């Protein structure tokens, strides 16, 4: 298996253990444009859950009801699950591509 595929897949799979740190480090270390592309895509997808946490904090302080907070919490959880599934699919797609 090619090294570029493994490194690109590692960028996506790092959502489980290193968050956005691995994609940003790989982006600045590598010279391969394909790996840079995957590292940038993985970094953006790893940032989305943190952006949703900001949304959740805003919801905590601005929504007057507890049900509004619960809805915001559920939306953040769904977004995090979707981003995780996306990263797994992309990582597998990179590994099996030709």
CA quadruple 64, 66, 71, 73: dihedral positive or negative? Answer: positive
The band of 55, judged by pLDDT with boundaries at 50, 70 and 90, is: confident
Among the ranges given (11-25, 63-77, 82-96), the one the predictor scored with the smallest mean pLDDT:
63-77
Measured CA to CA, the distance from residue 8 to residue 41 in angstroms comes to: 10
Of 7, 3, 15, 16, nearest to 39 by C-alpha is 7
Render pLDDT for 7-21 as a digit per residue (tens, 0 to 9): 999 999 998 888 779
Q: Which residues constitute the domain of residue 81? A: 3-96
Q: Please give the model's pTM, rounded to 2 decimal places.
A: 0.82
Kindly tell me if the per-residue pLDDT of 1 is higher than 70. Answer: no
Q: Whole-number mean pLDDT of the chain? A: 87
Tally of domains within the chain? 1
The band of 73, judged by pLDDT with boundaries at 50, 70 and 90, is: confident
Q: What 3-state DSSP class applies to 16?
A: helix
Measured CA to CA, the distance from residue 64 to residue 26 in angstroms comes to: 43
């Amino acid at each position: 298996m090619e090294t570029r595929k493994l490194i690109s897949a590692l960028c996506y799979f790092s959502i489980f253990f290193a968050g956005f740190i691995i994609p940003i480090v790989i982006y600045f270390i590598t010279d391969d444009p394909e790996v840079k592309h995957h590292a940038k895509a993985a970094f953006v997808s790893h940032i989305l859950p943190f952006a949703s946490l900001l949304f959740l904090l805003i919801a905590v302080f601005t929504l007057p009801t507890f049900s509004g907070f619960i809805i915001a919490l559920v939306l953040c959880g769904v977004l995090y699950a979707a981003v995780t599934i996306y990263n797994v699919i992309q990582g597998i797609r990179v590994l099996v591509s030709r």
